[in-house]
Structure 1
Amino acid sequence: MSHTTEWKTHLYLFEEDHATKVRIELDTGTTRLTGHGTARCNPTDSDVPEIGDELAAARALENLAMQLKRTAYTDMAAAGTAPRHAPLSAYDLG
Structure 2
Amino acid sequence: MPNTREWNVRIFLYEDEGTTTARAVLDTGETTLTGRGVARCNPEDVDIPEIGDELAASRAMAELGRQMMRAADRDLQGVGAGPLPPKARAAFGWPDVTL
TM score, norm. by length of structure 1: 0.85
Equivalent AA in structure 2 for residue 80 of structure 1:
G
Structure number with greater Rg is 2
Flag structure 1 segments of 5+ consecutive residues without an equivalent.
Answer: 87-94
- The offset of 1:9, in angstroms, is 1.4
Secondary structure in 1 matching 2:66:
helix
Flag structure 2 segments of 5+ consecutive residues without an equivalent.
Answer: 87-99
Hey, which of these two has a bigger chunk of helix by percent? 1
- Identity rate, percent: 49
Alignment coverage as a number of residue pairs: 86
Hey, which of these two has a bigger chunk of strand by percent? 2
Encode CA deviations 1:49-68: one digit per residue, 9 max, x unaligned.
11000000010010000000
> Which residue of structure 1 aligns with residue 46 of structure 2?
46
TM score, norm. by length of structure 2: 0.81
- Over 4 Å off, 4+ runs: none
> Which residue of structure 1 aligns with residue 74 of structure 2?
74
> Which residue of structure 2 aligns with residue 58 of structure 1?
58
Encode CA deviations 1:1-28: one digit per residue, 9 max, x unaligned.
4221010111100001320000010011
> Which residue of structure 1 aligns with residue 23 of structure 2?
23
| Superposition RMSD in Å | 1.4
CA distance in 1, matches of 2:16, 2:85: 40
- The offset of 1:84, in angstroms, is 3.6
CA distance in 2, matches of 1:3, 1:84: 29
